[in-house]
Amino acid sequence: MTFENEYEWTVIGAGPAGIAAVGKLIDNHIDPKKILWIDPEFKVGDFGKKWSKVPSNTKVSLFINFLNSCNSFEFLKSNVLFDIQKISADETCELDLMVQPLQCITNTLKSKVVSNIDIVSSLKMKNRYWLLEFNNQNAIISKNVIMAIGAEEKILSYPDLKTIPLEIALNKHKLKEYCHSDDIISVFGSSHSAILVIRNILENCPKTKILNFYKSPLCYALNCGNTILNDNTGLKGTTAHWAKENLHGNLPENLNRFLANEENLKNELYKCTHVVYAIGFQRRKIILEGVSDFEYNPKTGIIAPGLFGFGIAFPELKCDSFGNEEHRVGLWKFMNYINNVLPIWLRYSI
C-alpha cells in the first residue's frame, strides 16, 4: 500500500452536496491544493445520472440561488447562458436543466483542487489523521473528511416480481421499453417519487395496469407565509396538482390503490408482474473502523472529530414552526445547512 499524499480536507462524492462542500471550503480560504475530491465519475452524482429526467419539486429561483452562493463556483463570471437561466424563477423545471451548470461548476472546482476518480472503500484513524483506503489499493491521509456519498433507494423483497429500478420508472423515455399492455405493475409508496412513477406509467404506457400500495394518506406541502408545512415530505408543484386532480376518489381506469396491509398484499400482489419500490432512500455504505455504524448528529453533521456527513445521506433534522421535525433534502437546503455547520467543522478536527 502506498500513501500518495496528505490533505487538510477530503470530500467524498461529487453530487450536489460534494460540489457545495468543495465550493464552501475554498470560499473559507482552505488552500485548494490541500483539498482532495473523490468520486468515481464526477458527473453530478445521482442527481446528474439517475434523476435528470425528473421534474423538480424546487423552483428555479432556489436552483439559481445555489449556483450563485459560492464565489469559487465562478458562476457569475461564466460567459455561458444556461437554459435554466432562460426560464421564469417561479417555475419548476426538469432536473436536467440544473445538471448542465452543475457539471460546469464541477469542472471549474476540479481545476482548483486535487481530484481523484476512485471509490473510497474504508476509513480509519491513524496517528490523528483519517486514513482513506481506495478500491485500487492506494491510500491517503486527511485531517478532515466530508462524506457526501448519497443514498440508494430502499427495496422490499418480492422475488417473484420483476423489479423496475426507480431511475427507469422515473424516466419516460426508458420506461416505455419496460412496460407492455398485459403487465400489471405494483408501485410501493405514496411520496413525491411514487406519484411521479404512477403518473409516468399512466401517461406513457396507457394500457399497463398499476396497483399502488401505500402506508399513509397523500400529504401536500402548504405554503403558510413564513413557513411551509410538510416542506420536505409533502407533494409539491405539478405533481401535487396532478395528484389532487387524479387520486382522491376518482382514480384513472388503470390504477387501483390499496393500503399496504397483510390482507391486501396477500389478495392483490400475486396479480402483478413487475414492481417499483418508491419507499425512500438509505445512505451508501463505507467501512468505518472504530465508529459505530455511521451515527451522526443530525443538527451538526458531526460523525466523529474531523469526520462529517452531508447531503441526502446525512440530512439535517429541523423543526418547522409547528414543531414538526423533518429531514431536509434539496440543493438549496444543503447550501443553507453547510453555511451554518461549516464554521463548526472548520474547528472540530483532532
Ligand X SMILES: Cc1cc2nc3c(=O)[nH]c(=O)nc-3n(C[C@H](O)[C@H](O)[C@H](O)COP(=O)(O)OP(=O)(O)OC[C@H]3O[C@@H](n4cnc5c(N)ncnc54)[C@H](O)[C@@H]3O)c2cc1C
Nearer residue to ligand X within complex by CB, 46 or 316: 46
Radius of gyration of the chain (CA): 21
Nearest by Cα to 21 from 301, 272, 323: 301
- Residue 188 — left, alpha, or beta (φ > 0 → left; ψ -120 to 50 → alpha)? beta
Applying the rule CB under 6 A, the residues between 88 and 127 that interact with ligand X are 95, 119-120
Q: Could you tell me if 212 and 255 are in contact, meaning their C-beta atoms sit under 8 angstroms apart?
A: yes
Q: How far is the CB of 260 from ligand X (least distance, A)?
A: 20
- The yes or no reply on residue 18 touching ligand X (CB under 6 A) is yes
Tell the burial category of 176 from Cβ atoms under 10 Å away from its Cβ (0-12, 13-18, 19+).
middle
Provide the minimum distance between the beta carbon of 253 and ligand X in the complex, in angstroms, as a whole number: 26
Confirm or reject binding of residue 58 to ligand X (CB under 6 A): yes
**What is the contact mask toward ligand X in residues 296 to 315, using x (rule: CB under 6 A)?**
---------------xxx--
At closest approach, how far in Å is the CB of 207 from ligand X? 25
Residue 16 in contact with ligand X, rule: CB under 6 A: yes
- Nearest one of 171, 117, 122 to 287, comparing CA atoms: 122
Binding mask 249-288 for ligand X (x = CB under 6 A): -----------------------------------x-x--
Binding mask 321-340 for ligand X (x = CB under 6 A): --------xxx---------
Binding of residue 12 to ligand X (CB under 6 A): yes
Contacts with ligand X by CB under 6 A lie at 12-18, 38-40, 45-47, 51, 54, 56-58, 95, 119-120, 148-150, 170, 193, 284, 286, 311-313, 329-331
